[in-house]
Amino acid sequence: MIKLNCDMGESFGIWKMGEDDLIMPYINMANLACGFHSSDSTTMNKSVELAVKHNVTIGAHPSYQDLVGFGRRSIACTEEEISAIILYQIGALSSFCKVHNTNISYVKPHGALYNDMMKDENIFKSILRAIASFDKTIKLMILSTPDYERFENIASFYDIELLYEVFADRNYNDDGSLVSRTQTNAVVHNEEDVISRVKILSKDGYIKSINGKKLPIKADTICVHGDGENALSFIKALKKVL
């Protein structure tokens, strides 16, 4: 079964992001911010507590250390630094999970770090190395592309299992990458379009690129961004479809 995941716990201090209380009951997996692109200790604690309440699987959502840019700017880091920031953030979230008698099931890098991981094999390996050193039962969520076997072969070297993610509300380039958020057509806003592409993915195993090219991809989970204008409505509709 394809599961629904959502980026959550991204409020920071008095600044509120998303509708976590309303969305959490409808999803299967929550990607919780760990303080580097957003969130704070109180938000992290409340987010874990909310996920446990609704029996939602918890994933760490680490990023570059970029609060001002919401983690959407690439930062030049060494491989050692990449591994360290991953360990730092999953360690922080893990402490709140321990308090609430739960655990981190997977890691999904956020924003620029997610995109850089898919482009740069050394960054991908650095993230895998950090997860493997912490807990090899934790999975790594990556963007599902037609070239998935290459990533699978690398991950197997570290004994880390991958989760393949598809974005219901983002447009794709012909090579399987996401259309950049700098482009006006990066995000799909029409609910009927989102539902249609998820139905096709579930039935036929492909998603169409921005130019209409069929992209055959594996799908373990579908992401809807919790900060989207129509996030709650999209998620309720997709829950019925899936």
Exposed, middle or buried by CB within 10 Å (0-12, 13-18, 19+), for 159? exposed
Summary mean pLDDT of the chain: 93
**Structure-token pair, residue 13:** 């201090």
pLDDT tens per residue across span 118-145: 999 999 999 999 999 999 999 999 999 8
pLDDT tens per residue across span 92-115: 999 999 999 999 999 999 999 999
Domains by residue range for the chain, with CATH: 3-170+219-236 (3.20.20.370)
The pLDDT score that the predictor gives to residue 122 is 98
pLDDT tens per residue across span 10-45: 999 999 888 899 999 999 999 999 999 999 999 999
The pLDDT score that the predictor gives to residue 228 is 65
Q: Phi/psi at 218 (nearest 5 deg)?
A: -80, 145
Top pLDDT among 195 and 61 is at 61
Which of the four pLDDT bands, split at 50, 70 and 90, describes residue 238?
confident
pLDDT tens per residue across span 46-88: 999 999 999 999 999 999 999 999 999 999 999 999 999 999 9
